[in-house]
Amino acid sequence: MEFILLWGFYILTFYAFLPGIISRLFGFRVFQKGRSDRNLALTFDDGPDPVYTPQLLDLLKKYNAKATFFVVGIHAEKYPELLRRMHEEGHLIGIHNYVHKSNWLMRPKTVKRHISKTSDIIESVTGKRTTYYRPPWGIVNLFDYGNLGYLQIILWSVLFGDWRKKVGVDRLHKRMMKRCRGGEVLLLHDCGLTLGADREAPANMLAALERFLEEAASRDLHCVRIDELIRETDQERANNPSWLRHIIVRTWFLYERAFHLAFGLKTTNCDDPVFHFRVRPYHGKSMMLDDGVELKHDDLILELHFDNKRLYDIGRRSRTSMQLAIQMIRSVEKTLPELAEYVLDHPDLRVNVKALYGVSMLHRGPEQFGFTVRDLSNGLFSWMTKKYLRLLMKVIHPQGQRRLRQHAEQMVPKMMAMSVETLIERYGKTRNYAYESRTAERMILLDQGVENVPHPL
């Protein structure tokens, strides 16, 4: 009996208690507080409620405030018109399980089913699938980290006990004003039907919130959706990295330098490098490039490596993934003529090397420069490359972590190759390279949903 109790204690500790402590204390895999001088996030759990949610939406509209609603699936299913109104009025909708039940009390498979069912309900009403999730009571279990990797788990920086009616309006308002500042993620409730809550408690919350919104406006503070606060926080962290991130970046640069020395990588411009390269045999399957040149196993290639210091600097300057991609295109535009001249100045490369070759997760637009883009074959190399490039994206991209979650299907490394013949033909003589750049940029803008982008001509 003692043995069974001991193992039960171990399982409960590692399955439930430790993941929750790690998430709350260290912020592992969760977002709980932002970095902002003027923006804070209002978040509401347990709704929608047919009595209090409409009043809350009226109040938010009155003060031009945006919020994030983490809805319970059974309530959302019952009141789709409230979800529709949230969406139409510009608020963000997240998941709070199908029923308000702790993840500690459910198997991982059951948690996934709750989330999927609630996400389906939200999508059926709004036409948009959500990627934001708040587990009831903020409790995660051991398997949530892996199973819910496609979601952004949202916790909070402060809660006020507003689910209890006895707190009262004045005391609740006083508590809220102590955290009336930028970066905070405030947890409130627009429904009092949860176990332990008082049915009429949201009425007090609404009265205290109106006073809070008045004073926040007088302080020039803005209530924004959680995704906006996350974007601002990501940008702030990119511009002002923490000491730990700074150490990671410096270590990464040292590793890159060691790699360049170990494998003898070269560049066409030591003062302002874009690509580093080395000559090596091609080890993949035979591939027909778009210009009709066949790249075979053991053909010599010029393997390209984007300069990671430059990549990091571009990432810090770029506010969106679109800006990042366009800045990279302009860098490629600059260096391809240099590569062509380098090959022409080295006859052995001109004769023996078959193609330029590289692997990247930013692979929209390079066809306009003459590259052929292909999927990597499944295998150990593909798996390791994907892991490395995803880590790289988290470091350099302005919203790398968020983008990897929301666009996981796009964040797949692909192989890019250009025959040396095409390189020399297109870039080995004076010509208007800007056409390729503008065309590639146009493809990215269209892909991002920008309308009426003029043709390069």
Cβ-based neighbours of 359, under 8 Å, separated by 6 or more: 376, 385, 389, 413, 414, 415, 416
- Considering only residues 400 and 229, tell me which one the structure prediction assigns the higher pLDDT: 229
Q: Are residues 259 and 190 in the same domain?
A: no
Read off the CATH number of the domain in which 60 is found. Answer: 3.20.20.370
pLDDT at 14: 47
Residues 199 and 294 in one domain: no
Q: Which two tokens stand for residue 391?
A: 């880590």
> In total, how many domains does the chain have?
2
Q: Does residue 234 sit within a domain?
A: no
pLDDT at residue 255 greater than cutoff 50: yes
Do residue 331 and residue 299 come from a single domain? Answer: yes
Q: Given 45, 46, 49, 307, which residue is catalytic?
A: 45
Domain annotation covers residue 232: no
Q: Look at residue 144 in the predicted model and tell me its pLDDT.
A: 66
Residues 273 and 416 in one domain: yes
Q: What is the mean pLDDT of residues 375-401?
A: 62
Which of 169, 193, 226 is the last residue in one of the domains? 226
Residue 119 and residue 190 in one domain: yes
User: Which of the listed ranges 82-91, 190-199, 243-252 does the model predict with the highest average pLDDT?
Assistant: 82-91
Note whether 202 and 252 are same-domain residues: no
Rounded to an integer, the average pLDDT of 400-410 is 48
Residue 139 has pLDDT above 70, yes or no: yes
Establish if 257 belongs to a structural domain: yes
Query: What does the DSSP assignment read for 151-195?
Result: SEEE--SEE--TT-GGG-HHHHHHHHHTT-STT-EEEEES---ST
pLDDT at 220 over 50: yes
Q: Does any domain span residue 336?
A: yes
Q: What is the mean pLDDT of residues 56-72?
A: 98
| The one catalytic residue among 189, 276, 305, 397 | 189
**Is residue 144 domain-resident?**
yes
- Mean pLDDT comparison of 144-158, 211-225, 351-365, 382-396, highest-scoring range: 211-225
Do 192 and 114 share a domain, yes or no? yes
Decide if pLDDT at 12 tops 70.
Answer: no
Rg (CA), the chain: 26
pLDDT at 102 over 90: no
Residue 297: inside a domain: yes
Angle (deg, nearest 10), helices 243-263 and 308-317: 150
Same structural domain, 169 and 127: yes
Q: Do both 171 and 285 map to the same domain?
A: no
Q: Give the residue from 226, 258, 274 where a domain finishes.
A: 226
Indicate whether 454 belongs to any domain: no
| Average pLDDT taken over every residue of the chain | 82
On whether both 319 and 185 belong to a single domain, the answer is: no
Span 18-29, average pLDDT: 55
The pLDDT value given to residue 143:
66
Q: Provide the pLDDT confidence category of residue 114 given band limits of 50, 70 and 90.
A: very high
What is this structure's pTM? 0.59
Q: Do 154 and 131 lie in a common domain?
A: yes
Q: How far apart are alpha carbons 383 and 386 in whole angstroms?
A: 5
Percent of the residues in the chain that have a pLDDT greater than 90, as a whole number: 50
Instruction: Establish whether 45 is a catalytic residue.
Output: yes
Same domain, 123 and 10: yes
Per-residue pLDDT, 196: 87
Q: Give the mean pLDDT of 167-181.
A: 96
Q: Which of 192, 226, 260 is the last residue of a domain?
A: 226
- Which two structure tokens, joined as six digits, stand for 69? 């609603």
Instruction: Specify if 9 maps to a domain.
Output: yes
Which has more pLDDT, 51 or 331?
51
| Residue-range definition of the domain harbouring residue 373 | 241-447
291 assigned to active site:
no
The secondary structure of 276-345 as a DSSP string is EEEEEE--S--EE-TTSPEE-TT-EEEEEEE-HHHHHHHHHH-SSHHHHHHHHHHHHHHHHHHHHHHHHH
Name every residue whose Cβ is closer than 8 Å to that of residue 79 and which is 6 or more positions away in sequence.
48, 49, 50, 53
